Amino acid sequence: MNNVIALKSYAADRWLAEGEGAELVSAIDGATVALMPGVADVREMIDHARRVGGPALRAMTFRQRGEMLKAAAAAISERKAELYALSSFTGATKGDSAFDIEGGIGTFFVYASKAKTLPDAHFMLEGGRETLSKGDFLGQHVLAPLIGVAVHINAYNFPVWGMLEKLAPTLLAGMPAIIKPATFGSYLTEAAFRIMIESGALPTGSVQLLLGDTSDLLDLLDGQDSVAFTGSAATANRLKTHPNIVKNTVRFAAEQDSLNASILGMDAGPGTPEFDLYVKEVAREMTQKAGQKCTAIRRALVPTSMLDSVQNALISRLGNATIGDPRDETTRLGALAGIPQRADVIANLGKLTAEAEVVFGGEVPELHGNLAKGAFFEPTLLRCENPDAAEAVHSIEAFGPVCTLMPYRDADDAIMLAKKGKGSLALSIFSHDRGVTVDLVKGVSTFHGRVMIVDRDNAEHSTGHGAAMPHLQHGGPGRAGGGAELGGTIGMLPYMQRSAIQGSEALISAVAES
Ligand code: NAP
């Protein structure tokens, strides 16, 4: 790349002067892609969101905000080629980039259409009228946007989707946002953000971009503000216990580490469609986005008798996953986001090997020329013989193309192992036995934000284990952080306050329609 991009934060409706910040390098070959800017004035940003962005959004009805999302999504879609060009520097293949870019645009469009199911008014109703006494005195729960600012802190793995999936429910709810992308790959987030600003689709002050240092941002928030975080559990724990967040009861939602599992049913032996579908899905989850998906399958649970067959089938599939320059159409496995991220994967892999054996991959591939400076890593399959007694394979997330194969004895054992993840974003089941499937779902649902069931009849239309759908909740309990993003109107709740309105029917109707 010849032109190094001088990144800028966007605060109070102006692009700040570029600074002499850190260099961001290409995941493919280490060449400099962009320079980070200097520190922004977060006090001014918060003030602008509260004074200008919030009132502008709250003046609009849900339906009008839906139209706004549609216009912004259309603008990004029109210029998405610019994003694809930058996305490859993050190590992403064209397919990986589509997952990020089209996924983000699609999320905006889905929220735009959800707006049509909401009132052309300013309160969202929850449930119906509650009869409180014999006379004309009723109750109604209503939801209204918080009057502060939503702070979005994102992880590096989805520079576009990560921004848009948080922004869609926030803007539809009627709250302005300050977006703080992860530093790695933030040139791609900045490009998508810039398109939205240049489109003029969003009202002044409704979105601002904070690159790099967040300074004393968290010190300045109060109970009408909201923080949505995606990243590691270690950072989440640090930020959610920040004294000001605790003192002012600032809403804090986290999407953090997740040891997602996929279960192959007892009925799905070699030769069945479910067996083949399972192997294909696990291999895809390992290689798509180089395994850097919070929802990726980390633990593949298979009946003991099928352990060898699944291992062999997976190895044969992974052997065909060409590693290399993500811009090359034949590449199936691109690079990790950077050399530090690869070092993390290698370190975590080291911890997993105390309990599991590497049966495929596990090394930095030998690539030539400039690619030797890239952040590539082989797809890596581990096998854990005794997962009941193991701990690391259920708790350490190697955030790359890494998955551990483990045997289970019966449905109860599979449920117990799935739950050893202590709460995950997603679990999938591949089985054609309805009774077994229902028992598994009953056993695991409280530990998983989303459960996907695949069989020969629905596979063609399946949206995939790792794809967070805008219509469905994205978030999981416990280790996964306890957050709940997306899910249509569910995703708007972190940005709205519920209030129970009591009064006569006529008064409640007047409020509801205002
Ligand atoms: P991270 O180091 O925890 O960083 C996440 C975000 O927090 C980044 O934007 C980071 O900014 C920011 N941050 C760090 N310290 C901060 C502070 N003191 N104040 C404000 N912001 C701060 O995680 P990451 O390395 O980006 O992501 C990798 C990890 O996230 C993976 O290991 C994976 O487990 C997890 N992850 C989870 C999900 C999920 O939905 N469950 C999704 C993706 C990733 P900088 O980049 O500028 O440091």
pLDDT digits (tens, 9 = 90+) for 419-454: 999 999 999 999 999 999 999 999 999 999 999 999
pTM, entire model: 0.95
In a domain, 112, yes or no: yes
Q: What DSSP assignment string belongs to 201-241?
A: -S-TTSEEE--S--TTGGGG--TT-EEEEES-HHHHHHHHT
What is the overall mean pLDDT for the chain? 96
Query: Which residue owns the Cα nearest ligand 1 atom 44?
Result: 231
Q: Are residues 250 and 265 in the same domain?
A: no
Q: Is the CB of 182 under 6 A from ligand 1?
A: yes
Evaluate whether residue 23 is within a structural domain.
no
Same domain, residue pair 113 and 82: yes
| Beta strand segments in 218-316, E | 226-230, 251-255, 261-264, 299-303
pLDDT for position 17: 79
Residues 251, 273 within the same domain: no
Copy the structure tokens of residue 301: 């649970």
Q: What is the mean pLDDT of residues 107-118?
A: 97
- The total domain count for the chain is 2
Q: What is the CATH number of the domain that holds 198?
A: 3.40.605.10
Query: CB count, 10 Å around CB of 126?
Result: 15
Residue with CA nearest ligand 1 atom 30: 231
* Beta-ladder partners of 358: 382
Distance 288 CA to ligand 1 centre (A): 20
Q: Do 133 and 269 reside in the same domain of the chain?
A: no
User: What is the band of 2 on the pLDDT scale with cuts at 50, 70, 90?
Assistant: low
Q: Are residues 320 and 459 both part of a single domain?
A: yes
Q: In 3D, which of 234, 232, 253 has the Cα closest to residue 184?
A: 232
Asked if 158 and 59 sit in the same domain, the reply is yes
Q: Are residues 460 and 333 part of one domain?
A: yes
Is the same domain home to 118 and 200? yes
Residue length of the chain: 514
Tell me the best of 235, 298, 345, 450 to mutate to test the pocket of ligand 1, counting ligand atoms within 8 Å of each CB and taking the most: 235
Judge if 290 and 229 occupy the same domain. Answer: no
- Cα–Cα distance for residue pair 406/464, rounded to 1 Å: 21
Question: Is residue 222 in a domain?
Answer: yes
Q: Is 4 among the domain residues?
A: no
Q: Which two tokens stand for residue 228?
A: 């949505």
- What gap in Å lies between CA 253 and CA 238, rounded to an integer? 13
Q: Whose CA is nearest to atom 15 of ligand 1?
A: 235
238 and 277 part of one domain: no
Here the CATH number for the domain that contains residue 330 is 3.40.309.10
Domain interval for residue 329? 261-480
Ligand 1 contact via 215 beta carbon (within 6 Å): no
- Domain membership of residue 490 (yes or no) is no
Catalytic residue numbers read 255, 294
Mean pLDDT for 494-510 is: 96
Name which of 2, 1, 30, 7 is nearest 20 in CA terms: 7
Note whether 501 and 443 are same-domain residues: no
pLDDT in tens, 392-421: 999 999 999 999 999 999 999 999 999 999
Question: Considering the domain boundaries, does residue 16 fall inside one?
Answer: no
pLDDT tens digits, 8-42: 999 999 999 777 789 999 999 999 999 999 889 99
* Cα 230 to middle of ligand 1, angstroms: 6
With respect to residue 27, please indicate whether it lies within any of the assigned structural domains. no
Q: Is 104 part of any domain?
A: yes
Å from CA of 236 to ligand 1 middle: 8
Q: Are 365 and 391 within one domain?
A: yes
The alpha carbon of 76 is separated from its chain's Cα centroid by a whole number of angstroms, namely: 19
Q: What tens digit of pLDDT does each residue of 302-350 get?
A: 999 999 999 999 999 999 999 999 999 999 999 999 999 999 999 999 9
| Centroid of ligand 1 to alpha carbon of 235 (angstroms) | 6
